[in-house]
Structure 1
Amino acid sequence: MAIAAENAILGHPATRSGGVTSMPLWVTLLGVRKAKELLMTSKLITGKEAEKIGLVNYAVPEDKLAGEVWKVAKLMADVPPDGMIILKEALNTHMRILGIDAEFTYHRQLNALGRVGSTGSSFNLDAMRQRAKEQTPKTE
């Protein structure tokens, strides 16, 4: 579950620095085309847009965020624990069968190579922050 404020700024600016570790989740949630668009451009989006494309379950006004999170948490807490454990395990096993663990291992290895390879010197936290600042969408 993911709940964001409508004016939250979401994205993956680490791509500009060679970071790709979370990519398997983006592909799973968004499909290859949308994941490529957002990851290859380091485009930042609002919570409202993230809800529209399925990156988050809900986007709510910022002042209602905590209340919405508690509402969903209470609904989840009302599910009998044994049922929740089985459901969570079934969903996680489904992802493992699809190869999510292998994908994360592969992407961690790519990240390590990026740090020591020819592009490793490009990892710069200040540059990543500057890029995020430049690309931050204006919210209303």
Structure 2
Amino acid sequence: MSEHEHTIGRHTVRVGEHGDTLDLILRGDVAPDEVARIFDFMASRFAGRSYMLVTGDVSELGHVTAASRRAIMKEAGRAPPIRGLAYHRASFGARVITELVMRTYVFVTGADLPVHFAEDEAGALAWLATRRKQLAAAEPRR
């Protein structure tokens, strides 16, 4: 495993191909201490960026407890704002959990955070490419 990829519990986190993307594979339940470690990774790998994007395979996602959701809100300010989220292979339950967590994240951070669910990784990455272009077009010219 490289410095750009880590295992946290049963989950895998890595920096995506474009350098602005966190790529997740979430397997099983997400514990509060794992949330903190994921944010440690985000804060160290995406420091200095004005935003980041998130994608990942959530086909094996378990529960995100209330304590874990509180941990996400507590840790949210340690990393650049998430400006797009594209998960693939999400069950109905994973979609509901994601929507709940991200709505709270948006409420706490004020981030402009569209969420997209794709059937496969290619669809998620295509959506992120479009989102990346939207964000680039919205940045002030220097």
More helix as a share of residues: 1
Q: Quick one: higher RCO (CA 8 Å, sep 6+), 1 or 2? A: 1
The answer to whether TM tops 0.5 is no
More strand as a share of residues: 2
Indicate the structure (1 or 2) with the bigger Cα radius of gyration: 1
What's the TM-score, normalizing by structure 2?
Answer: 0.29
What's the TM-score, normalizing by structure 1?
Answer: 0.29
